[in-house]
Amino acid sequence: MTWALARDLPHHVGIIMDGNGRWATLRGEQREAGHKAGSAAVRRVVRAARRLGIGALTLYAFSEQNWGRPGGEVDALMGLLEEFLRSERGEILENGIRLVGIGDLSRLPEHVRHALDPLARDSEANRGMTLALALSYGAREEIAEVARKLALDAKEGRLDPRQIDANVIAARMPSLSVGEPDLILRTGGEQRLSNFLLYGAANAELVFSEKLWPDFDEADLFEAIHVYQQRMKSQVP
């Protein structure tokens, strides 16, 4: 199946990994069990994307708004995040993956930063695929941060405000350092962006899957990319 996907491969894919809680509830388990199973799905999908030759994968792992969830659930998510970073470190480095964190990383607990920061540093020169983890991320907050920095630069005379246009803003966005997302995929059946990559989403294809994230696998990723490719084919040049 893989060969058929080689044409019109999206360069940058963003995924809103949704449905962990419902997956667990359906099984009569705690939401945390869904996040654990979701973490295994992340491993599968990162491997599949790397094998496929996707240039950049941005995974929405924890939103700015997710800080509002019960403390126990937030702690469980942070624990799983640290575990993911530690257990995948070897494979990420061996496979030439560059790992970056986007979002307000200063809000993350220290135990996560201790796993995240060295991996980001040690994988910085890798060119195989960029894996961007959106952590404590909100697109409106990202836009506000860029606006704040532009205003400061203008105030301090480093920037002529008349030069600010859409490209200047995009160039300062951490979420777009790997280019605009070509495809944004959301699992779990909801059809909204939930504050993910809003600025970059301007021209992205949106694909929604009914599958709950813990059930999402390689074949589902291929199917979403196939949908993207069909849309590319039918676009008027």
Q: x/- contact string, 183-212, with Mg ion (CB under 5 A)? A: ------------------------------
The answer to whether residue 18 is catalytic is: yes
Site size toward Mg ion, by CB under 5 A: 1
Which residues make Cβ contacts (< 8 Å) with residue 73, sequence separation at least 6?
31, 32, 35
35 binds Mg ion (CB under 5 A): no
Between 20 and 229, name the residue whose CB sits nearer to Mg ion: 20
| Interaction mask 20-39, ligand IPE, x per CB under 6 A | xxx-----------------
Nearest to 181 by CA among 2, 5, 16, 7: 16
19 binds ligand IPE (CB under 6 A): yes
- Kindly report the CA angle at 3 between 179 and 210, in degrees rounded to 5? 65
Write the interaction track for Mg ion spanning residues 10-29; mark x where CB under 5 A is met and - where it is not.
--------x-----------
Q: Which of 10, 12, 14, 18 binds ligand IPE (CB under 6 A)?
A: 18
The two structure tokens encoding residue 207: 């694909």
Question: CA 134, 207, 198, 96 torsion: positive or negative?
Answer: positive
Binding mask 63-92 for ligand IPE (x = CB under 6 A): x--x----------x---------------
Catalytic option among 8, 66, 95, 117: 66
The residue whose Cβ lies closest to ligand IPE is 21
b/e burial code for range 96-125 (CB count within 10 A of at least 16 → b):
ebbbbbbbbbeebeeebbebbeebbeebee
Contact 139, 197 (CB under 8 A): yes
Of the candidates 100, 177, 175, the one whose C-alpha atom is nearest the C-alpha of residue 140 is 175
Decide if 122 is catalytic: no
Radius of gyration of the chain (CA): 18
Query: Looking at 61, 97, 112, 150, which residue binds ligand IPE (CB under 6 A)?
Result: 61
Span interacting with ligand IPE, options 11-19, 87-95, 198-206, 223-231, rule CB under 6 A: 11-19
Strand order in the sheet with 56-63: 97-102, 129-137, 56-63, 12-16, 183-186, 205-208
CA distance 174 to 132: 10
The binding site for Mg ion (CB under 5 A) comprises: 18
Contacts with ligand IPE by CB under 6 A lie at 16-22, 60-63, 66, 77, 188, 190, 194
- Give the catalytic positions in this structure: 18, 66
